[in-house]
Structure 1
């Protein structure tokens, strides 16, 4: 007959396999009956699986850094922006396959908020991809050279949420614009997108170089989208620099 560890391994119950003796001792110390003892085992196993799932989704999301809503200072934004935060943080926009477009000057908190929403989505069992738009174009070109564009598109469409960072820092040639347009068009209505950009819509033609293509991209992304202007007179990085300089004097 198999022992507890062997049966746990067979059933892929990793927490019980690693901690069975400690759990038995804890149950004995607490004077738990058989039902309570079983619940203790199962609750710890469920918790472990949830934690492992979150860790896996965070790895798969490919965040370049970790930013959290708890560290985001909402008080520094105007009322018309602040009143939208609570609604977005319910993550219902993902369930409804709605987009978010965060505009504003560099250093105004767009990427922080986008990443923080992405991390919250991972913790809520949503699949997420984070990638800068320049890197997205590079990956698409590589997929084209390997004849794997169809696979790339299918993978891109399967995420509950895709966070596209830094639209506007690099312009594209005609091929790059068409590749991006095709990718976003295929994903339209299949999942949510968050885009951060330092340019208002009227300046997107500077990136895409083509009036009709620019209009078509905006039309698709802005449909059923939450559009927010995060612009601030002083960026977070400048505030940090000023505070650092004061602390050194």
Structure 2
């Protein structure tokens, strides 16, 4: 590598174009091989930098989302979901509901594909530039209870409150005491008409008072969640996990 190329790399880094700086020798070889014009060279350099920056931003948003696994909706077999048509799934993937701060409630028994669908929509949103945070209900309650004295909880909740989409998985996982229900209400109230929320649950909203333990708090939470919402009841009799389980038998 010549000193001229090294100097150019240093200058690109000074301009905070680190991706181009790292790839510059390859870009220059391609320019010579393909006989690019000056305009084509500039275009390739800028396109490469912008592409790599967006890829890194996506990687960062995926890390912050804290998904338990990575599965896109391209892997979701819509034919196994009688409650959801291909057209409806495509409408969900357009994310117009996210721009309008609509919420989505995914209902169904364990293994029906609720979490898979929620994560898939979250990944789509991240690919489109939105900030997404995923949390199980149990993890979320623990974060809320420890926010005052644990820095990690404070950081994670700050990201959650600033997210465009918040996914809360397994809402009926655990019952809450009065303090926990209050903390959850304050969070939902903060997100109201600011972010979209996807909730997965094996019980409908009419049964959530069992979780909250307080009719007043439950009503206040539901008022905010159900103001603009799409409720999707996934198949009751089919378990996605059972259909796609690994087996020791041939």
TM-score by length of 1: 0.91
Q: Does structure 1 conserve the Cα–Cα contact (< 8 Å) formed by 2:109 and 2:236? A: yes
Supply the distance in 2 between the matched residues of 1:65 and 1:150 (Cα, whole angstroms).
Answer: 23
Q: Which of 24, 28, 32 is the equivalent residue of 2:32?
A: 28
Question: Can you give the 5+ residue segments of structure 2 that lack an aligned partner in the other structure?
Answer: none
- Give the secondary structure class of the aligned counterpart of 1:100: strand
- Give the secondary structure class of the aligned counterpart of 1:144: coil
Q: Which moved more, 1:168-177 or 1:213-222?
A: 213-222
Supply the distance in 2 between the matched residues of 1:147 and 1:9 (Cα, whole angstroms).
Answer: 33
Question: How many corresponding residue pairs?
Answer: 246
Supply the distance in 1 between the matched residues of 2:155 and 2:20 (Cα, whole angstroms).
Answer: 38
For 1:196, the equivalent position in structure 2 comes to 200
- State the 1:145 CA deviation: 4.5
Supply the distance in 2 between the matched residues of 1:59 and 1:110 (Cα, whole angstroms).
Answer: 21
For 1:54, the equivalent position in structure 2 comes to 58
Runs of 4+ in 1 over 3 A off after TM superposition: 79-83, 144-156
For 1:85, the equivalent position in structure 2 comes to 89
- Give the secondary structure class of the aligned counterpart of 2:112: coil
User: Structure 1 residues 80 and 236 mapped into 2: Cα distance closer, same or farther (>3 Å)?
Assistant: closer
Q: Which of 2, 7, 12 is the equivalent residue of 1:8?
A: 12
Q: Which of 133, 139, 142 is the equivalent residue of 1:135?
A: 139
* Pairing 1:52-201 to 2, within 5 Å after superposition: 52-78=56-82, 82-145=86-149, 155-201=159-205
CA RMSD of aligned residues (A): 2.3
TM-score by length of 2: 0.91
- State the 1:111 CA deviation: 0.3
Supply the distance in 2 between the matched residues of 1:244 and 1:152 (Cα, whole angstroms).
Answer: 37
Q: Which moved more, 1:81-90 or 1:228-237?
A: 81-90
Structure 1 residue 244 corresponds to structure 2 residue 243:
no
- Give the secondary structure class of the aligned counterpart of 2:94: coil
Question: Can you give the 5+ residue segments of structure 1 that lack an aligned partner in the other structure?
Answer: none
